Chains A and B, each alone.
Chain A
Amino acid sequence: MINTAQDLPEYKKRLKRALDNKFLRNAMAAFAAAYPEGRARALTGVDFEALRVEIARGKDETLPRLEELYEAFKAKAEAAGIKVHLAKTAREANEIIAAIAAEGGAKKIVKSKSMTAEETFLNDHLEAEGLEVVETDLGEWIIQLRHEGPSHMVMPAIHLSRDQVAELFTKVTGTTQEPDIESLVKVARRELRKHFLSADMGISGANFAIAETGTLGIMTNEGNGRLVTTLPRIHVALVGLDKLVPDLASALKILKALPKNATGQVITSYVTWITGPTECKAAPSGLKDLHIVFLDNGRLALSKDPVFAEVLRCIRCGACANVCPIYSLVGGHNYGHVYIGAIGLILTYFYHGRKNDRAIVQNCLNCLACKAVCPAGINLPLLIKKVHGEVLAEEEDRPLKNRLLRRVLHNRRLFHFLLRRASLAQKPFAREGFIRHLPFFFGKEHGFRSLPAVVRTPLRDRWARVAGKVAQPRLKVALFAGCLVDFVYPEQGEALARLLQERQIQVDFPPDQSCCGLPAKCMGEMEIAREMAIQNLKALDPADYDHVLVLCASCGSHIKGTYPLLLKKEPGLGVKVQQLAEKLVDFSSFMTEVLKVKPEEFLGRKEKAAYHAPCHLCRGLKVTGPPRELLKVAGYEYVPAKNEEVCCGMGGTFSTDFPELSAELLKNKLDNVAATGAELLVTDCPGCVLQLKGGMDKRGGKIRVKHLAEAVAATRKEGSKGK
């Protein structure tokens, strides 16, 4: 029933269709706006960071002991009279459940929501065995009637309108149903009540399996989970092995985070704790016939994987989809297979195979929004790239761009030679810093922004001229420029040099530095990313400097966040990389926190400036206050824009891989900026500058786009030395 695109051309067709679906777009946009507010409200007074660390630690302690916990659970549950089964594969789980139904003479089954049952395609299996299966969660029932898969882990029918539901319910009941939500809910109450009362068997999932007592914990809002586990004489719970927790305390910790993060509720309406078969007057014995089927389906192996075990920390809150800019553009049916959102891009590979993942896994901006809200502290963006790497490794041919990258990137001389050649080749087309005719291999979908020209003289060749020796420097810093500042926007580096030299700071440009390697990581080429990290560490010895400055938030967050992960096993380098990470500082933090610049050092021009927060600055380096603070110190009137921290759609190579999606995100961004009435748009990542400047040029907008370093250099009082 679920059919996920298996190649890029097909996937892009579907993405286009989703972008054209007005209802979906509005529904997703409304949700994207409402979710963060609800979540923030629910989390008021909760130390989310502390809770996240606790949940992650708890899971990490549990994962290596899953088998042991399973045995403990089983012993307790069996002693209480529960029948416990272990299914190695999805198919085995379905067969076990079908056999339980057959043995108990069950014909009709009511089900409450279970992502694990979606994972195994349980309904298909049971229906093929001639059983009647009725989903009882309203959203699940709707999509079951429509023969669709869920488009969200918590709100499976979020892609549908009340009109579509009314039409569907009219068909189901045989009487006309008005598109009024309250009465539609009543229809479901009435129809499903009949099923609850006449079913022989109930199937549920579970949020927790508590080993110490053999208890299941189930969270629901509608109350269907309680009816499913109460009315029919047989109850089967299908539970992933990853739901095992040692004790009640661990479950309560997760309970504290899950509903707040999932739907902005302090707690779900119902939390049900079942230990052993309780009274059931429909059962011949007077007690429920209770079965628990634990599903492995790769989980035990995954729990031992040195890199990917982390994904089993997931508590299925769905937040990583809720905040994902791509999810909010195209919806869940285009952003996952069974599991949806960031975690879906990863789990699909393990639970539903490479073919279903190979197209969707490429559709990630690496914007870090998912990582920032995950209550289990899973490094989702990095794992997405690693899965992408695994997928590539198994493909027969790597895409052309990957092959080129592999040949060029790790040879700095060749790479820089080619960049210089590009500057010559584009010369006839370049004007005002933009390429005015796109090269033939770009299709028209790439025309949503003007592309910048590669400069003739990169920053590295200008450095000796712009940044001379400072006689008695207060500080000695190194600039890690990154490719864009070096070869496309050297003026950003020059602005920095001017500001720092006046303040008696020696800034060096270590000449052997190269690309930070982030593009390689983003294309799933982890090996090259690692080589680039080693090269740069050799080029720039952190011991020589007080600070290492970056103007590019993406380089900065890659070096600080990912280098240590890439090089932790490298003898000697692990230490250096830690030192580098500790000395690395972004421009705004350096100016406000290290130099502590003051308004007197700048002209108070009071120009209205909007700010775009680069993903890799606000979430990657977790720097949010300093850039806004610096804007004000430098004499600008900072005007806040809506969704300042939402990705601009650049995402490195993402914008050339998925230009239509990138264009939409850029449009939203520029619309929000235009609404502020700003004269200037400032950001502090050259990648974002490229995207925003190109988009602004294309739409003929009047707002100038600048890197924060340029904006600050522009209002400095000439000769102001600071202190």
Chain B
Amino acid sequence: MDSPNLLQLLREKAEAVQVVVQEITDLAEACRYAVEVTSRQGGATIAAPGWDPATLSLLKDICQAAQIEVLTENLREQASRLHTGLTLADWGLAETGTLVHESSSEDLRLATMLSETHIAVLPLSRLQPDATALEAELNGLMHSPPRYLAFITGASRTADIERVLTLGVHGPLELHLLLLKD
């Protein structure tokens, strides 16, 4: 499958599990998007672990204007304050609409688990057809422990009461996927 088709498939599969999908052209747009969503939802924090210094300072600037606090570490202690988690995904799997995060860092993990809204940026160069296509990379990581790898497909969900689908039982209530053309 060529890349426009892969992209189409990823979109389709992600949207089928209630992911909000958006295409962006640079990381500044990702920062603006995260701030806008957070403000709209009345959130006061963005947890942004694992970003490069340039992106981080960009984010901090935009956040300052919007009176949103950026958290980058010790998220465990601030568990009750996490509103948005802004993360960079390592890979995307088109077949299932899945994001792959190498999240051995505790802060990165918590940002994707404890936030109310998770916004993940996926550089399109990291899009793969399916998990099998990524087997060698995943195997490589598993051969160099310790590793905590996460496949994330949509928001946290349950159907445990009367089989009615409900989002956000333990993890994020919303998942936003920002596709970065790189």
Contacts and interface: CB of A to CB of B under 8 A. Distances in A.
A23 to B, nearest CB: 10
A226 B157 CA distance: 13
Nearest to A112: B170
A162 B161 CA distance: 6
A505 B181 CA distance: 71
Interface stretch (A260-268, A408-416, A662-670): A260-268
Contact of B170 (A139, A189, A278): A189
Contacts of A196: 170
A691 interface: no
Interface in B65-80: 74, 76, 79
A226 B149 CA distance: 11
A267 B130 CA distance: 12
Contact of B135 (A161, A249, A271, A272): A249
B158 A185 contact: yes
Interface in B98-132: 98, 104-106, 109-110, 113-114, 131-132
A268 B149 contact: no
Chain A contact-residue range equals 35 or more
Contacts of A274: 147-149
A252 B156 CA distance: 21
A269 B155 contact: yes
A231 B150 CA distance: 15
A182 interface: yes
Contacts of B131: 252, 255
Contact of B147 (A193, A227, A278): A278
A80 interface: yes
Contacts of A210: 142
A31 interface: yes
B138 A248 contact: yes
Contact of A223 (B106, B160, B170): B170
A230 interface: yes
B4 interface: no
A565 interface: no
Contacts of A222: 156-158, 160, 169-171
Contacts of A212: 139, 142
A229 B169 CA distance: 17
B15 to A, nearest CB: 12
A714 interface: no
B160 A252 contact: no
A226 B109 contact: yes
A429 interface: no
Interface in A121-148: 136-139, 142
B156 A269 contact: yes
A184 B141 CA distance: 39
A138 B169 contact: yes
B164 A269 contact: no
Nearest to B168: A189
Nearest to A184: B161
A34 B162 CA distance: 12
Contact of A181 (B96, B142, B143, B166): B166
A221 B163 CA distance: 13
Nearest to B109: A230
Contacts of B17: 266, 269
B33 interface: no
Given A80-B146, A270-B151, A276-B146, A192 B170 contact: yes
Nearest to B74: A281
B169 A185 contact: yes
A221 B142 contact: no
A543 to B, nearest CB: 48
B154 interface: yes
Interface stretch (A150-158, A431-439, A460-468, A533-541): A150-158
B97 interface: yes
A213 B139 contact: yes
A277 interface: yes
A604 to B, nearest CB: 46
Give the one of B143, B145, B150, B156 with max A CB within 10 A. B145
B1 interface: no
B147 A275 contact: yes
Contacts of B83: none
Contacts of B135: 248-249, 252
Nearest to A267: B96
Given A197-B79, A278-B106, A156 B151 contact: no
Nearest to A279: B106
Nearest to A251: B131
B153 interface: yes
Interface string B168-179: 111110000000
A248 B142 CA distance: 9
Nearest to A81: B146
A230 B110 contact: yes
- Greatest chain B CB density within 10 A among A139, A157, A197, A267 is at A267
Given A155-B159, A165-B161, A269-B157, A223 B151 contact: no
A215 interface: yes
Interface in A247-304: 247-249, 252, 255, 263, 266-282, 287
Given A136-B170, A155-B163, A279-B106, A273 B156 contact: no
Contacts of A252: 131-132, 135
A139 B152 CA distance: 21
A138 B139 CA distance: 32
A27 B161 CA distance: 11
B60 interface: no
B76 A282 contact: yes
Contact of B106 (A27, A230, A247): A230
Contacts of A160: 161-162
29 contacts: A31-B163, A80-B146, A139-B160, A157-B160, A181-B166, A182-B166, A185-B161, A210-B142, A212-B142, A213-B145, A223-B113, A223-B169, A230-B109, A248-B135, A249-B135, A252-B135, A266-B13, A266-B17, A270-B150, A270-B152, A270-B171, A271-B150, A271-B153, A272-B150, A274-B149, A275-B147, A276-B145, A277-B146, A278-B146
Given A31-B163, A212-B142, A222-B158, 10 more contacts: A27-B162, A157-B160, A181-B161, A214-B145, A223-B169, A249-B132, A252-B132, A270-B171, A272-B150, A273-B150
Interface of A: 27, 30-31, 34, 80-81, 136-139, 142, 155-158, 160-162, 165, 181-182, 184-185, 188-189, 192-193, 196-197, 210, 212-215, 221-224, 226-227, 229-231, 247-249, 252, 255, 263, 266-282, 287
